[in-house]
Structure 1
Amino acid sequence: MTTFSENLAAMPDIVHLRGLDVCDNENKVLHHIPAIEGKLGSLKLYHALAQRFDGVLNAEAAEQGLAWFAEHTADALAHAGKHPNVDLLLRVRDEGLVLQLKPLAA
């Protein structure tokens, strides 16, 4: 199994982003990932999901994201609330949500 760091190394660059919004079908922002230290890995992963799944965050995309988060997924399951970006993917998967991923240009 690959690690989170190994997965990130294979993903597209995010230097052109200032963040990413996760929106509902009415374009309301439900979750924001800023381009700041400590959040760049999550931003890179969510941006890769947006590219791979045409901006749609559904159960299939969430499952891919959980696989990419690797060891952080297990930690999030063991410690609810510690990894909000993983928790969101778990919620999307478990509740069958369909959301939009909107990368924000810098």
Structure 2
Amino acid sequence: MAFADNLKDLPKVSHLEAIQLLDAEGNEVARIENKPGQAGSLAVYNHLAQIFGAISPDAAKKGLDLYAEHTEDALQNPGKHPNIDRLVGLAERGETLRVKQVFAV
């Protein structure tokens, strides 16, 4: 399935302002905001956190499947899709990031 089709099946994220990705020490390593250009990634990462409890290597692999055609583009063009690049790195290194939701007010 295409990324746009996969997004339709994910939970909505209108209640979120952003999510923070935290390393093992609790430091923020990334923030994905609910704004144009990031809303799809917010939905993917939020879904992964709900299913897996964190962005683990297994969650990262599932996320790469959800990104569909964009994953192949990211692999061919490192740096073009940083949120996909992050998942590739987590899966390859066996690392996990915690997710903290920032709710919209």
TM-score, with structure 1 as normaliser: 0.95
- Deviation for aligned residue 1:63: 0.2
Q: Distance in 2 between matches of 1:99 and 1:40?
A: 19
Kindly report the root-mean-square deviation, in angstroms, between the aligned alpha carbons of the 2 structures: 0.7
Match of 1:86 in 2: 84
SS of residue matched to 1:82: coil
The percent of aligned pairs where both chains have the same amino acid is 38
The residue number in structure 2 matching 1:50 is 49
Uncovered stretches (5+) of structure 1, i.e. residues with no partner: none
How far 1:99 sits from its partner (Å)?
1.2
Contact 2:45 2:55 in 1 (8 A): no
Q: Using the alignment, how far apart are the partners of 1:32 and 1:14 within structure 2? A: 15
Task: Report what 1:102 is aligned to.
Answer: 100
SS at match of 2:21: strand
**Aligned partner of residue 22 in structure 1, secondary structure:** strand
Deviates more, 1:84-93 or 1:18-27: 18-27
2: distance between equivalents of 1:65 and 1:103?
18
Partner amino acid for 2:22?
A: C
Matched, 1:28 2:12: no
Letter in 2 for 1:104: V
Amino acid at match of 1:40: A
Q: Tell me which stretches of 4 or more aligned residues in structure 1 moved more than 6 Å.
A: none
Distance 1:99 1:38 in 2: 22
* SS state at 1:57 partner: coil
2:25 and 2:48 map into 1 onto residues whose CA distance is 20
One-letter code of the match for 2:32?
A: I
Aligned residues: 104
